[in-house]
Amino acid sequence: MAKKKKDSKKGIGFFTKGANDYIIWIVVIILLALGLIMVLSASSATSLAESGDSYRYFRKQLIAASVGLVGMIVLSRIDYNIYKRFALPIYIAIVGLLFAVKFVGMSSRTEPKDG
């Protein structure tokens, strides 16, 4: 009598053991590095004139990129079937946030300072 092979994956695991798609990771890292270089080259003179530190905007962008990269790593490890359950509420929330930007968003125009 042959033994039945136990299914080692019962239910949907929170973190998967699947393989990473390294081409996507490499493309993301290259685009991220190029974007950071562009921010540094475009804003260093302005940042130096405003605050005396030519790396001010670059540091802010680097922190945001690092947080985004960590978030991407965490979210990529979650089984996609979990996302399927929450697709409609996430969609509704995103559309609501888009409308909030239109009606509640702050103006980007500033008045010149009297000096």
pTM of the model: 0.62
Residue 77's pLDDT is 85
DSSP code string of 15-78: B--PPP-HHHHHHHHHHHHHHHHHHHHHHHHHHHHHHS-TTHHHHHHHHHHHHHHHHHHHHHTB
Confidence bin at 75 (pLDDT 50/70/90)? confident
Confidence bin at 114 (pLDDT 50/70/90)? low
Which DSSP symbol is given to 4? P
Confidence bin at 41 (pLDDT 50/70/90)? very high
Residues of the chain with pLDDT > 90, as a percent, come to 37
Cα distances (angstroms) measured from residue 50 to each of 45, 92, 96, 107, 114: 9, 40, 36, 21, 16
Averaged pLDDT score across all residues of the chain: 81
